[in-house]
Structure 1
Amino acid sequence: MANKNRFTIPIFLLYFLATFLSPTTSKSTIEPCSNSDTCSALVGYTLYTDLKVSEVASLFSVDPISLLLSNSIDISYPDVENHILPSQLFLKIPIPCSCVDGIRKSSSTSYKTRPSDTLASIAAGIYGGLISADQIKEANPDADISDPSVLNVGTKLNIPLPCTCFNNSDNNLPAIYMSYVVKPVDTLSGIAARYVTTLTDLMNVNQLGSPAIKEGDILAIPLSACASKFPTYASDYGLFVPNGSYALTASHCVQCSCGPGSRDLYCMPASLAVSCSSMQCRNSNLMLGNVTAQQSSAGCNVTSCSYGGFVNGSIVTWLSTSLQPRCPGSQQFPPLIAPPTVVPDLLFSPAPSPSESGGFPTTNPKSSVVPSSGAGIGIPPANGPTGSASGSSGASSGTCALTNNLSSFSVVLTLGLVFKFILSISL
């Protein structure tokens, strides 16, 4: 009988060791898909070191000017593409989200390996846990990756970043979804407050049974947006712009914005170093973005020259007139900030999402000279999210890894002492 007890106690303890010490996998929101549509999406990214704007853009294979405007950074500064952004700065990176093998992913990002790179260091260090080493290996079957810790310098790797579309809609309102890697200090309620959404909405979008989240989880966060109404034959059909930011289109000729608290997309000419087609509305003296208002006894007669999309290399404009109860105020624009040189006060918190309140300028933003590089971002609309949570390897910082190791050691030591005590009693 004593022998039987001696045998069952270690099994009992081994069960608890396996339960407490087994590593938990990070969750990621996955959107199944069955068509070839592409939507505009964002990934939240924290710089792992000081990087030039052009270097960050290269990491994600995006246009540097579109990257800056997505974060409402003023592009009129001289040589802005070579401006050095500080380590730990949080940015929203615009990416196209496609349907790859039945799952929404961004397949446009590529990376060339450098000396001392490993799949783990690329995934956790350079791309901040947005992807795992296993996912990179799986996405590159033709690359020579027999040993993930030894990579040939200059190997080109496809980096399938997580993204979601959910028809660019959240609760039947226009939205763009940002893939966000949970930080050690994050709570779901804190994330909801920061990005002007609700705890319930975040739980529904990410199919969470409870508000519990952990470091390394990748959440889909809906950001309110302004939707375009361009015809399907326009090359920038389905353009969505997150609230509080800007986007370039029409070969860098047109700049569109989504003002604070607005759902209406406003487009105007961008100051350029390239030639653009005419932006004057037919049968009028109004240029793209111009609005006139005339008060009358019946109300306010409003005439506007609006952007109708980029078709066959030409900028489509349309003239509209309407009678409104009162004349509209000046167009509000998202406030532009200078290219950052320091990280905001809250080191571990991402930069604020586009706000829907506060004091904002009501005049046109500063003129901007747009370098001719890359392409604008455009894409489609519709209804609402249903996603699924799945495992993906998240990366921990050195501090967190040390904390986890110490915690594991404490559990092992405690259970060892308990085992020794119980064993001495059974003897």
Structure 2
Amino acid sequence: MIGYTPANSTTLSSVQSLFGVRSLLSLLGANGLPLSASPNQSVPAGSPVRVPIPCACSNGTGASDREPVYVVKKGDGLDFIARTIFSGFVKYQEIAAANGIADPNKIQLGQKLRIPLPCSCDDVDGLPTVHYGHVVAARSTVAQIASAFGTREDTLLRLNGMDGPKKLLAGQILDVPLRACASSILNNSMDHNLLVPNGSYAITANDCVQCSCSSSCLTTRNTSVWAQCPSMQCNRNLSLGMTFTVGCNSTTCAYEGYNNQMIITGTVANTSYCNGTSAGSRHGLGWGHVFVVLNLGLLSLGMF
């Protein structure tokens, strides 16, 4: 995921198109925007937008997987494309190498260029992590950035190969680790590698399920693949996102993944609900739930 800051006012659909984000829902989720947000919603100049990008990783390094693809326009040069169009997230030499361009000064009008944006699939400190590409603003400090994104100064320095905070430069692309919330998704699910950081949500299971760190996974009313979303019940009386409470004990129906035919759910039992120290046991791990009884509505609300 990267924090793209447009130089000029633009729209969500334009950002989606520029970066080849396959679904507007992915862009909305990364930014915690309502599902009802218009693709024509304005993005002011200088306002960061979290852009999810697919990452291909090998031997400890990563680059965006086949996306985005940029079509050369009149007056473009590789350095302009790298610095201005893509906000310095990539160098012109990297674009040239990714596209087999021997002479960076010779590109053609209408030529399609793969833009190899930086990304990472690595855990940080042994924990699942969403890597966020952050453009350092003038007069920023490592301490300020660490505080803003809920991480540690030493983690930022180590992750970015910096031997001290004074090495930070304005315009530098910083790899910022965003802690992903715990997940109950099974290893054999088609979305087993889904990571969701705080302040965002993800639409999964063929657009039938919405998951976030601040709530259990809930049903949506959208589907782009299935004619209608499959049943999402743990039992006859408990559907996805519902919690049943008896005394100090509660049981929640949690999302555990999907395949081509069905959506998989399982129960999470909490046995010390009254004293505020719920001890969950599941048929699996468990999203970081804020338990909401009968909450099946849409959430109205961010791999480099």
| Residue number in structure 2 paired with 1:289 | 241
Residue 68 of structure 1 aligns with an amino acid whose one-letter code is: L
Residue 162 of structure 2 aligns with an amino acid whose one-letter code is: L
SS of equivalent residue, structure 2 residue 52? strand
Following superposition, the deviation at residue 183 of structure 1 comes to 2.5
| Residue number in structure 2 paired with 1:86 | 44
| Residue number in structure 1 paired with 2:68 | 109
CA offset digits 1:146-182 (Å, max 9, x no partner): 453x532221111110112222xx3334321112222
Q: Does the alignment pair 1:129 with 2:88?
A: yes
Measured in 2, the distance between the counterparts of 1:214 and 1:294 equals 56
Measured in 2, the distance between the counterparts of 1:365 and 1:126 equals 41
1:119-268 → structure 2 map (5 Å cutoff): 119-141=78-100, 146=103, 148=105, 151-167=107-123, 170-212=124-166, 213-259=168-214, 266-268=216-218
Whether the 8 Å CA contact 2:207–2:223 is kept in 1: the answer is no
CA offset digits 1:365-407 (Å, max 9, x no partner): 97379xxxxxxx9x9xxxxxxxxxxxxxxxxxxxxxxxxxxxx
Measured in 2, the distance between the counterparts of 1:198 and 1:323 equals 33
TM-score normalised per structure 2: 0.83
Measured in 2, the distance between the counterparts of 1:116 and 1:266 equals 49
The equivalent position to 2:263 in structure 1, one of 303, 306, 315, is 315
State, as a whole percentage, how many aligned pairs show the same letter: 35
Measured in 1, the distance between the counterparts of 2:239 and 2:296 equals 17
Unpaired segments ≥5 residues, structure 1: 1-41, 260-264, 330-359, 370-376, 380-427
Whether the 8 Å CA contact 2:207–2:220 is kept in 1: the answer is yes
| Residue number in structure 1 paired with 2:77 | 118
Whether the 8 Å CA contact 2:241–2:296 is kept in 1: the answer is no
SS of equivalent residue, structure 2 residue 57? strand
Residue 264 of structure 2 aligns with an amino acid whose one-letter code is: V
Measured in 1, the distance between the counterparts of 2:194 and 2:78 equals 34
Q: How many residues align?
A: 282
Following superposition, the deviation at residue 203 of structure 1 comes to 1.2
| Residue number in structure 1 paired with 2:28 | 68
Q: Quick check: which has more Rg, 1 or 2?
A: 1
Measured in 2, the distance between the counterparts of 1:310 and 1:81 equals 28
The 3 A distance-change label for structure 1 pair 238 and 366 is: same
Measured in 2, the distance between the counterparts of 1:152 and 1:286 equals 59
SS of equivalent residue, structure 1 residue 223? strand
SS of equivalent residue, structure 1 residue 179? strand
SS of equivalent residue, structure 1 residue 58? helix
Measured in 1, the distance between the counterparts of 2:73 and 2:276 equals 55
Q: Does the alignment pair 1:271 with 2:233?
A: no
The 3 A distance-change label for structure 1 pair 240 and 227 is: farther
SS of equivalent residue, structure 1 residue 69? helix
Whether the 8 Å CA contact 1:227–1:238 is kept in 2: the answer is no
Whether the 8 Å CA contact 1:164–1:179 is kept in 2: the answer is no
| Residue number in structure 2 paired with 1:303 | 251
SS of equivalent residue, structure 1 residue 230? coil
Unpaired segments ≥5 residues, structure 2: 278-289
| Residue number in structure 2 paired with 1:29 | none
The 3 A distance-change label for structure 1 pair 99 and 175 is: closer
Whether the 8 Å CA contact 2:60–2:122 is kept in 1: the answer is no
Following superposition, the deviation at residue 81 of structure 1 comes to 1.3
Measured in 2, the distance between the counterparts of 1:89 and 1:179 equals 15
CA offset digits 1:174-233 (Å, max 9, x no partner): 321112222223221221121122212211222211112112322211112213232222
Measured in 2, the distance between the counterparts of 1:136 and 1:320 equals 47
- Bigger drift between 64-73 and 92-101 goes to 92-101
Whether the 8 Å CA contact 2:184–2:254 is kept in 1: the answer is no
Following superposition, the deviation at residue 271 of structure 1 comes to 2.5
Measured in 1, the distance between the counterparts of 2:273 and 2:129 equals 29
The 3 A distance-change label for structure 1 pair 258 and 202 is: same
1:328-367 → structure 2 map (5 Å cutoff): 367=298
Residue 220 of structure 2 aligns with an amino acid whose one-letter code is: A
Measured in 1, the distance between the counterparts of 2:194 and 2:270 equals 24
Measured in 2, the distance between the counterparts of 1:308 and 1:140 equals 40
1:379-418 → structure 2 map (5 Å cutoff): none
Residue 223 of structure 1 aligns with an amino acid whose one-letter code is: L
